[in-house]
């Protein structure tokens, strides 16, 4: 009731006060709501930061540590107490040498962030802090926050521990490296074909065929396959890519090398995905030599079979031929000189002698021909055989190039005459009795067993080369020419055609020798005969002319047989000789056992060669005398050895006279010009 007595003015004032209070209340309510939202947002941000898998740290522009999250502590293995201590540190007094060293080339860019602002991402960094025993791979992201004046106020750093990822990448790279190493060093070719082009191949492919990466990028792979083998190669590729579930045996085809040489290969293939597309992966084996050996074995079996048959026939022929060869002389003695029957008798006698010659060829082919083994000088045997051939047509010239001091062989002169007769006769036929036939002899040391036609074991031989300038032998029949009864001549051209070269092959086998050939259609043919040497009578023949000594000589050769031969020769000459089979052992031996002279083999595949051995020796003994001995022709390495001071170079095989002469020349002269013997 008292309120009703208030004046209007008082009521208006009270109303105004009420409105003011309501307005104030609303204002206070608004402020309380805004603060709650801010506090809530800050709480969310803190939760996100604290639970982030990335390490998050906040630093001042002076690099003072202000805040870190849980992940950051885990990455650096810091406890809460250690972090608190770090936050108390004055950055002006801290030494950041470990951080600067780890940042390396990134350091100037990081310092720029603290000074000028901006952001920076370091994808990978090896952080090493020895005082904390820390070494790990990390990824860093810097982000600067500027104040109202534009100066850097805070720097947020995001840290990710990528050690596990880096280790995994390294494991993958190591695995890839091992795989590539296995592929690159494999003794077979490995390739991947896609759209008829090589998209991958290992180094063995280049070694086998000679094509470089640039070559393969320009050519179609099929163009390297022999034309006759291309159809089955295409068929095999299609069958593989089509996914047919069939049992496909390894494919044997011929490939044309960059040099033009044709090689046989065996290939196995399978389908793979290369760059998300089907491709053919193939493994290549060079079977050229294997194929060649198989053909040689097959030919040898055929020859052996034919030889047995020929021997049986020849044995019966010998009995039947006796009267045919002997009786014509008796008949002619009973007839007058001008009797018309003599012409028929002479024809019969000539034919009988020709049959007897063919029979001798058959006996030789069967390797049942009996002959005395004697010590022979092939220069004399060849000269005698040429003279026995009688007068040759004026259009045929036989040139000889006989080696001096040719070593002897052991064999049968008549059988070797048969070889020479057949090869020279064939050469005349190939030249159609127009041109030069060259016969060369040489002492020869075989160090490479593989030849154009066959296999020659490592050792000492007399090499005889018989060359003509005739029509040559086509490649497709080269492997057949030594088969019995194989001939390219007409049957009436020469009686006995087809036995000549098979007889040559048989005689060489009788002498434990080997035969090789090289021929080019239109350019002629060369036959190479290799006869094992003998030293049976050399010593006595040369004894009066040979001078020895008592000096110390070290023989260095990886071939035990050569060491044994050299030791026997040197000890017979009176020298104090020792043999070692490697350059490395030689250097070690000479440190305690100086020698007057070294006989150094040039080629020693399992270690350092003669030149490198001598190089290391003269570092100890600058005036060391040495002779290089090798079966190879002179090379750049021999010339290099001469530049180092090697006095002489001699070729295998060694003879007593040759060794004695060369050694005395080197030992008796203080300085001699480098020579080759």
Residue 617 pLDDT level (bands cut at 50, 70, 90): very high
**For range 613-642, the mean pLDDT:** 81
pLDDT at 661 over 60: yes
Which residues are 146's β-sheet partners? 152
The whole-chain average pLDDT of the chain stands at: 79
CA separation, residue 416 to residues 385, 423, 443, 511, 519 (Å) = 9, 11, 18, 9, 22
Give the bridge partners for 271, in sequence order.
280
> Which among 363, 370, 404, 398 is positioned nearest to 382, based on CA atoms?
398
Confidence class for position 449, pLDDT limits 50, 70, 90: low
Give residue-wise pLDDT tens across range 313-352. Answer: 665 666 566 677 767 877 887 888 888 888 888 888 888 7
Which whole number is the average pLDDT over 17-23? Answer: 67
Give the pLDDT score at 491.
Answer: 45
- Say if residue 12's pLDDT is above 70: no
Query: Is domain 186-286 annotated with CATH 3.40.50.150?
Result: no
Between CA 80 and CA 20 the distance in angstroms is 51
**CATH, range 301-361:** 1.10.287
Name which of 98-112, 120-134, 413-427, 530-544 the model is least confident about: 530-544
Report the distance separating Cα 560 and Cα 604, nearest Å. 12
Percent of the chain with pLDDT over 70: 77
The Cα 528–Cα 532 span in angstroms is 13
Residues 242-251: pLDDT tens digits?
A: 776 666 678 8
CATH no., domain 52-167: 3.30.450.20
DSSP string, 608-651: --HHHHHHHHHHH-TT-EEEEEESSPP-HHHHHHHHHT--EEEE
> Which of 128-132, 208-212, 585-589 shows the lowest mean pLDDT across its residues?
128-132
pLDDT at position 61 over 70: yes
CATH of 374-534, one of 3.40.109.10, 3.40.50.880, 3.40.30.10, 3.30.565.10: 3.30.565.10
The pairing of strands 552-556 and 576-580 is: parallel
pLDDT in tens, 155-210: 999 999 888 888 888 888 887 777 777 777 777 888 888 887 788 888 788 788 88
Domain spans, the chain? 3-50, 52-167, 186-286, 301-361, 374-534, 542-676
> Are 52-167 and 186-286 the same fold in CATH?
yes
If one compares 600 and 455, the residue with the highest pLDDT of the two is 600
pLDDT at res. 390: 79
Please tell me the predicted confidence (pLDDT) of residue 555: 92
Per-residue pLDDT at 496 = 44
- pLDDT per position as a tens digit, 72-120: 888 888 888 888 888 887 766 555 666 777 788 888 998 899 888 899 9
Per-residue pLDDT tens for 135-149?
Answer: 888 899 999 989 888
Residue 653, pLDDT above cutoff 70: no
Confidence band for 30, pLDDT divided at 50, 70 and 90: low
Strand partners, 57: 68, 157
Q: Which residues contact 442 (CB under 8 A, 6 or more apart)?
A: 403, 406, 462, 463, 465
For residue 219, what pLDDT is reported? 77
- Residues shown for the chain: 677
* d(C-alpha 121, C-alpha 110), whole Å: 10
Q: What pLDDT score does 538 carry?
A: 43
Kindly indicate the confidence band of residue 620, based on its pLDDT and cuts at 50, 70 and 90: very high
Query: What's the mean pLDDT in 385-409?
Result: 88
Contact 76, 132 (CB under 8 A): yes
Question: What is the rounded average pLDDT of the residues 602-612?
Answer: 84
DSSP 225: B
pLDDT band, residue 462 (cuts 50/70/90): very high
- Right CATH number for 542-676 from 3.60.130.10, 3.40.50.1820, 3.40.50.2300, 3.40.50.720? 3.40.50.2300
Which is more confident, 530 or 508?
530
Displacement of CA 574 from its chain's centroid (Å) = 43
Residue, of 491 and 16, whose pLDDT is higher: 16
CA distances from 15 to 9, 12, 18 (A): 10, 5, 5
pLDDT on residue 535: 82
As a whole number, mean pLDDT of residues 283-295 equals 82
pLDDT band at 551 (very low <50, low <70, confident <90, very high): very high
């Amino acid at each position: 009731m008292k309120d009703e007595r208030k004046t209007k003015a008082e009521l208006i004032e009270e109303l105004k006060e009420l409105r003011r209070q309501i307005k104030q209340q609303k204002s206070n309510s608004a402020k309380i709501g805004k603060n709650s939202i801010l506090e809530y947002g800050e709480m969310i941000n803190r939760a996100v930061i604290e639970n982030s898998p990335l390490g998050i740290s906040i630093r001042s522009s002076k690099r003072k540590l202000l805040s870190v999250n849980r992940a950051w502590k885990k990455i650096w293995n810091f406890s809460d107490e250690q972090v608190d201590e770090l936050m108390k540190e004055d950055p002006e007094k801290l030494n950041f040498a470990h951080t600067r060293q780890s940042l390396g080339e990134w350091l100037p860019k990081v310092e720029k962030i603290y000074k000028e602002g901006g952001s920076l991402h370091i994808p990978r960094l090896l952080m090493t802090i020895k005082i904390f025993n820390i070494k790990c791979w990390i990824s860093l992201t810097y982000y600067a926050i500027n104040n109202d004046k534009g100066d850097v106020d805070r720097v947020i750093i995001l840290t990710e521990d990528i050690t596990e990822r880096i280790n995994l990448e390294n494991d993958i790279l190591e695995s890839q490296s091992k795989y590539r190493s296995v592929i690159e060093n494999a003794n077979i070719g490995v390739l991947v074909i896609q759209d008829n082009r090589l998209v991958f191949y290992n180094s063995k492919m280049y070694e086998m065929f000679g094509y470089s990466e640039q070559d393969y990028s320009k050519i179609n792979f099929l163009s390297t396959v022999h034309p006759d083998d291309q159809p089955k190669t295409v068929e095999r590729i299609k069958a593989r890519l089509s996914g047919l579930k069939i049992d496909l045996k390894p494919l044997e085809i011929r490939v044309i090398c960059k040099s033009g040489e044709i090689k046989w290969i065996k290939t196995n293939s399978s389908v793979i995905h290369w760059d998300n597309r089907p491709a053919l992966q193939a493994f290549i084996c060079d079977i050229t030599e294997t194929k060649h050996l198989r053909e040689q074995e097959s030919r040898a079996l055929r020859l052996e079979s034919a030889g047995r048959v020929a021997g049986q026939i020849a044995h019966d022929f010998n009995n039947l031929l006796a009267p045919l060869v002997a009786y014509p002389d008796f008949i002619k003695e009973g007839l007058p000189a001008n009797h018309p029957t003599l012409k028929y008798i002479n024809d019969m006698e000539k034919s009988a002698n020709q049959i007897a010659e063919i029979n001798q060829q058959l006996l030789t082919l069967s390797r049942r021909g009996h002959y005395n083994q004697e010590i022979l000088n092939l220069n004399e045997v060849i000269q005698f055989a040429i003279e026995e051939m009688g007068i040759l047509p004026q259009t045929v010239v036989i040139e000889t190039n006989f080696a001096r001091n040719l070593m002897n062989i052991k064999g049968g002169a008549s059988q070797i005459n048969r070889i020479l007769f057949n090869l020279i006769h064939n050469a005349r036929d190939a030249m159609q009795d127009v041109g030069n036939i060259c016969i060369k002899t040489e002492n020869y040391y075989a160090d490479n067993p593989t030849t154009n036609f066959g296999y020659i074991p490592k050792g000492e031989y007399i090499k005889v080369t018989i060359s003509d300038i005739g029509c040559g032998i086509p490649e497709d029949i080269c492997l057949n020419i030594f088969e019995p009864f194989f001939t390219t001549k007409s049957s009436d051209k020469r009686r006995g055609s087809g036995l000549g070269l098979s007889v040559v092959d048989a005689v060489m086998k009788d002498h434990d020798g080997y035969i090789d050939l090289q021929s080019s259609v239109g350019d002629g043919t060369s036959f190479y005969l290799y006869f094992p040497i003998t030293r049976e009578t050399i010593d006595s023949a040369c004894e009066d002319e040979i001078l020895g000594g008592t000096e110390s000589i070290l023989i260095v050769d990886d071939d035990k047989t050569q060491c044994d031969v050299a030791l026997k020769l040197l000890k017979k000459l009176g020298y104090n000789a020792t043999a070692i089979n490697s350059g490395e052992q030689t250097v070690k031996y000479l440190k305690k056992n100086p020698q007057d002279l070294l006989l150094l083999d040039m080629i020693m595949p399992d270690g350092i060669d003669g030149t490198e051995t001598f190089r290391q020796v003269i570092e100890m003994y600058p005036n060391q005398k040495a002779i290089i001995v090798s079966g190879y022709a002179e090379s750049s390495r021999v010339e290099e050895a001469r530049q180092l001071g090697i006095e002489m170079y001699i070729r295998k095989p060694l003879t007593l006279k040759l060794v004695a002469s060369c050694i005395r020349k080197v030992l008796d002269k203080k300085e001699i010009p480098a020579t080759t013997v």
